[in-house]
Chain A
């Protein structure tokens, strides 16, 4: 079974600083990868996804992620964060040809300080 590890449960950062949220997954087979964001008292919203092709994926709100097959990682980055980026971020993976039910990581709480 797939597993997803988000290495940091909480990441504090100052406004306008860069940030990286780390995600590793267990599968060695072909995968689809996702990052979702959850603002307080809301559901999850897709930030970006990797299905195939270029390993650098750009998403909404200035976020991007890089797929590294050899390290089975899909880290999320933003060069300059805003207060409004304060939220919970979830990494997820699904397997093509399987049930497609994604497995989610435990989440990383990004806290942006002024």
Chain B
């Protein structure tokens, strides 16, 4: 079974630009969550999508947005990039329903550097 795939793995942007990150979940998983990981703040929850709807949201500004497609693939977008947005962005998939316990399956992340 293929794991969670995130693209691109690495990217460099400049302040003010925008970026789109992509995540393909494990086949059959309908929930996709996004996390921002930084050395100072650890893992912070951005949002969760289930069946194309945002089901949960963390405390991030509106510059951070996401969406989920009918095949469960998800994208997140960050507009008007700031230096503080430099981080590893992790996507995690899960069943999201039924016997779901909160166990997540993570991709390898997209490392964003903002200059």
- A interface with B by C-beta (< 8 Å): 32, 34, 36, 41-46, 49, 51, 90, 92, 94, 96, 99-107
Contacts and interface: CB of A to CB of B under 8 A. Distances in A.
Given A34-B103, A49-B103, A104-B42, A43 B56 contact: no
Given A42-B108, A43-B109, A44-B106, A32 B101 contact: yes
B33 A45 contact: no
Interface of B: 4, 6, 33, 35, 42-43, 45, 48, 55-56, 90, 92, 100-109
A44 B90 CA distance: 9
A102 B106 contact: no
Contacts, number: 55
* Max count, chain A CB within 10 A of own CB: residue among B45, B56, B90, B101: B101
Nearest to B104: A102
Given A43-B90, A99-B56, A101-B45, A49 B106 contact: no
Given A43-B90, A101-B48, A107 B102 contact: no
A52 to B, nearest CB: 10
Contacts of A43: 4, 6, 90, 92, 106-109
A2 to B, nearest CB: 11
B103 A46 contact: yes
